[in-house]
Chain A
Amino acid sequence: MKKFDKDRLLLAFAGPALALVTAFVLTMIVLAATGVDPIDPLRIMVENAGYEDVQVLIVNQAGTYYLAALAVAIGFRMNLFNIGVDGQYRLAAMVSAVVGTAVTLPGPLHILLIVLVAMMVGAFWSGIAGVLKAKRGVSEVVSTIMLNAIATSLIAYLILPKNLGVQPEGSNDLNTGEIAQSGWFPAVDLGDGLEIYGFTFVAFALGIVYWFVLNRTRFGFDLRATGASESAAQASGVDAKKMIITSMLISGAVAGLAGMPVLLGESHTYSLSFPVGIGFTGITIALLGRNSPVGIFFAALLMAFIDKASASLDTAGYAKEIGTIMKGLIVIAVVVSYELVGRYGIRRQQQKVGEELAAGGAIKTDKEVAA
């Protein structure tokens, strides 16, 4: 039996490894083809990652990415494609920032309130897509994309000074006002003004919760079963509609958290320059990490590394879009290599089972024992 486990583990690594190697090689080919030194930019990126301030950026960014990717992964495990994480976290961050500014509570309670509001808003926004899918059969892909656009417009409207926003004196920016210090999440201070957001650790801890719920609870089993085969899950007693709504709600609630590391740890307000696009990177990361909490962790670090380490490439005379190319190639490579490795794995296992059975490797059954 150990043999199959080892095999599976090996294959689990083979997918991402193949994807990454392919992506990096392709990147180098692209660079070489455009007449750029193919090695040097990558060398600079690795070098950049050696600096402490870049490392802090990477870790903080990875925390944010991790939450977004978990949100996407929850959907993926259920065969739902929540493209709406981006709108969900932005709306959640905006509304929770407004609430957080409006109240003053003792420290932990203040933070808890902001976090809860964010989760609720995120869940509400994705829940719309869930209900539409369950009740009306609307594809969640379409509805979440549209909800992203609606979220953008809604935020743009809400943040107007005549509504919930403020325009600080002398600024051309709009924000939601600053959250009182009691609502700032304590950070890990590394000196030199370098801080790792405290919420980053919450994010990684959530990975453990994710793993437990999915792999060790009835609910998680139902969710995975539905993702693996909706028809079989339904026959097994899973209420598919309820499951769609529930998992969308959870996915949205986690998505709502994706804005929290920045909101609680850095900006303390939602402004026009609040980070965007995290939800989409989250999709890449969930794919690359194969929806596993550990895989997503490394994938999030990798994406954050590419982001941050490539950011200063232009000061060295290279286009920092090299990072973007790399990310794009990783997505393609991931999809292709996982498919290949997956097929190979199934074929290989069927073969091995056949071989083992032929070689008399089956578990002794009663019939044989009796014979």
Chain B
Amino acid sequence: MRRITRIATVGLASAALALSATACGGKNSSDASSSSSSSASGDAKAATAAIAYDIGGRGDQSFNDAAYAGLQKAETDLKIKGAEAEPTDGEGEADKVQRLTELARKGNNPVIGVGFAYAPAIKKVAPKFPETTFGIIDDTSVTGPNIANLVFNEEQGSYLAGVAAAKVSKTGTVGFIGGVEVPLIKKFEAGFTQGVKDTNPNAKVLSAYLTQPPNFDGFAKPDLGKAAAQGQLSAGGADVVYAAAGLAGSGAIEAAHAAGKWAIGVDSDQYNQAGLSKYKDKILTSVTKDVSDSVYNLIKSVKDGKPENGEIRYGLDKDGVGLSDSNPEYKKMADVIAAVEKAKADIISKKITVKTAP
């Protein structure tokens, strides 16, 4: 499968020149490893699963880390080996195609693309490896017999956050901070706003996005989240802020803590996050999005020989999204909990349909 061409090697002369010392040694072993990798794909005994991260990679304390947690859980519970691959900044579709191809070729099954950016690449790669299951998170636009689309009803979880925020707010003004203005985050905003308005029609929702794509700083830089939250809390008069902004959201939580106002976390239960323990008493609750379970489930299904495929939607009904209640303060708010529980029941029973776009 992997051939070594001579033509292009010539083109690489300049690079090889600088590396001539190591280049000589490299040639032999590149032959060796290419054969070993192809043999590995053939008769691999231990099942392996691979995830390809989205921008930010492992360590983003959010989306990618959640996927990694799922893989870790699978490694311990299912005794499989996990492989990971990270993107480089500013890469294109071709790089993603190459990454998925390589992961699939090495015999990993399933191969999971974390994030919608992998959709075009999976569309190209999946047909070439019909035996491999490909998972993609947050996308249903690419479909195929061996593609599992893992999607979440973020708007439902956010709706509950909106209910809680409206109940807790004394000023009647709450804030929403989106990391990067992409459709995915718009879903959070839509659900949250609807939840607030349904609970208190007179309440005001302040919305802010930290950056516009392709600048993804809004998911990464806490100072941006902090500044936006400070604006909403002081000048805007909000007393609850909900930040759907990945790592940048921790800045918003810090600002809320400093102002003595409530913050609502996102993705995982941020009350229990070690990095935020200083501010946890002001983290009212978090909208959870169980990426890790979805990853784990997909790996498990493949291992069990009944691979998932098609759209696998995680909503409130499956606890794929939800609202955490680790904060003892929150637990004491009986009326808030009651309202949230009622809203949850209404959504599950389809009495309430939550919009996915503001």
8 A-B interface contacts by CB (under 8 A): A43-B25, A46-B16, A55-B11, A153-B212, A170-B151, A272-B214, A275-B90, A310-B88
The reply to whether A171 and B140 form a contact with Cβ atoms under 8 Å apart is: yes
The reply to whether A323 and B18 form a contact with Cβ atoms under 8 Å apart is: no
Across the interface, A314 reaches (CB within 8 A) one of B19, B26, B84, B141, namely B84
CA distance A262 to B89 in the complex (A): 16
Q: Mark A303-332, 1 if CB is under 8 A from B, else 0.
A: 001111011101100001001000000000
CA distance A281 to B92 in the complex (A): 14
CA distance A274 to B92 in the complex (A): 6
* Shortest Cβ distance from B117 into A: residue: A273
Extra inter-chain contacts (20) besides given A50-B30, A173-B116, A307-B91, CB under 8 Å: A20-B18, A43-B29, A46-B19, A46-B22, A47-B29, A47-B30, A49-B15, A51-B4, A53-B102, A55-B8, A57-B98, A170-B140, A170-B141, A272-B117, A273-B120, A275-B90, A275-B92, A301-B11, A312-B99, A320-B86
The reply to whether B15 and A301 form a contact with Cβ atoms under 8 Å apart is: yes
CA distance A275 to B128 in the complex (A): 24
CA distance A167 to B140 in the complex (A): 12
* Shortest Cβ distance from A46 into B: residue: B26
Question: Which residues of chain A are near B83, meaning CB under 8 Å?
Answer: 315
CA distance A277 to B183 in the complex (A): 22
Question: Which residues of chain B are near A277, meaning CB under 8 Å?
Answer: 89-90
Would you list which residues of chain A between 42 and 101 have a CB under 8 Å from chain B?
42-43, 45-62, 90
**Is A232 interfacial (CB-CB < 8 Å)?**
no
**Is A246 interfacial (CB-CB < 8 Å)?**
no
Q: Mark B109-132, 1 if CB is under 8 A from A, else 0.
A: 000000011011000100010000
Given contacts A169-B141, A273-B117, A314-B86, A152 and B215 within 8 Å (CB-CB): yes
**Is A368 interfacial (CB-CB < 8 Å)?**
no
- Count B interface residues, CB 8 Å: 63
Given contacts A50-B27, A314-B86, A167 and B183 within 8 Å (CB-CB): yes
Interface size class on chain A is 35 or more
CB distance from B221 to the nearest CB of A (A): 15
CB distance from A146 to the nearest CB of B (A): 14
CB distance from B237 to the nearest CB of A (A): 27
Question: Which residues of chain A are near B88, meaning CB under 8 Å?
Answer: 307, 310-311, 320, 323
**Is A210 interfacial (CB-CB < 8 Å)?**
no
Across the interface, A57 reaches (CB within 8 A) one of B23, B27, B94, B311, namely B94
CB distance from A162 to the nearest CB of B (A): 10
Would you list which residues of chain B between 335 and 357 have a CB under 8 Å from chain A?
none
**Is B9 interfacial (CB-CB < 8 Å)?**
yes
The reply to whether A302 and B92 form a contact with Cβ atoms under 8 Å apart is: no
CA distance A275 to B94 in the complex (A): 10
**CB-based A-B contact count at 8 angstroms:** 178
CA distance A52 to B140 in the complex (A): 32
Question: Which residues of chain B are near A310, meaning CB under 8 Å?
Answer: 88
CA distance A281 to B89 in the complex (A): 11
CB distance from A108 to the nearest CB of B (A): 24
The reply to whether B92 and A52 form a contact with Cβ atoms under 8 Å apart is: no
The reply to whether A58 and B12 form a contact with Cβ atoms under 8 Å apart is: yes
CA distance A276 to B25 in the complex (A): 35
CA distance A54 to B101 in the complex (A): 11
Given contacts A46-B23, A170-B141, A173-B119, A57 and B8 within 8 Å (CB-CB): no
CA distance A298 to B83 in the complex (A): 34
Shortest 9 CB-CB contacts between residues of A and residues of B: A170-B140, A156-B212, A277-B90, A171-B141, A47-B30, A55-B8, A46-B26, A298-B14, A275-B92
Residue with the greatest number of chain B CB neighbours at <10 A, chosen from A54, A55, A277: A55
Residue with the greatest number of chain B CB neighbours at <10 A, chosen from A48, A52, A152, A157: A52
Q: Mark A137-166, 1 if CB is under 8 A from B, else 0.
A: 000000000000000110111000000000
CA distance A42 to B88 in the complex (A): 17
Across the interface, A266 reaches (CB within 8 A) one of B11, B85, B94, namely B94
Given contacts A170-B141, A277-B89, A314-B86, A43 and B12 within 8 Å (CB-CB): no
The reply to whether B30 and A46 form a contact with Cβ atoms under 8 Å apart is: yes
* Shortest Cβ distance from A21 into B: residue: B18
CA distance A347 to B2 in the complex (A): 51
**Is A193 interfacial (CB-CB < 8 Å)?**
yes
Given contacts A43-B26, A46-B23, A170 and B16 within 8 Å (CB-CB): no
The reply to whether A47 and B33 form a contact with Cβ atoms under 8 Å apart is: yes
Q: Mark A1-40, 1 if CB is under 8 A from B, else 0.
A: 0000000000000000100110010000000000000010
The reply to whether B93 and A266 form a contact with Cβ atoms under 8 Å apart is: yes
Question: Which residues of chain B are near A62, meaning CB under 8 Å?
Answer: 11
* Shortest Cβ distance from A165 into B: residue: B183
**Is B34 interfacial (CB-CB < 8 Å)?**
yes
CB distance from B305 to the nearest CB of A (A): 26
Given contacts A46-B30, A173-B139, A314-B86, A274 and B214 within 8 Å (CB-CB): yes
CB distance from B127 to the nearest CB of A (A): 10
**Is B306 interfacial (CB-CB < 8 Å)?**
no
**Is B3 interfacial (CB-CB < 8 Å)?**
yes
CB distance from B13 to the nearest CB of A (A): 8
**Is B309 interfacial (CB-CB < 8 Å)?**
no
Given contacts A172-B182, A173-B117, A277-B90, A302 and B30 within 8 Å (CB-CB): no
**Is A168 interfacial (CB-CB < 8 Å)?**
yes
CA distance A347 to B127 in the complex (A): 63
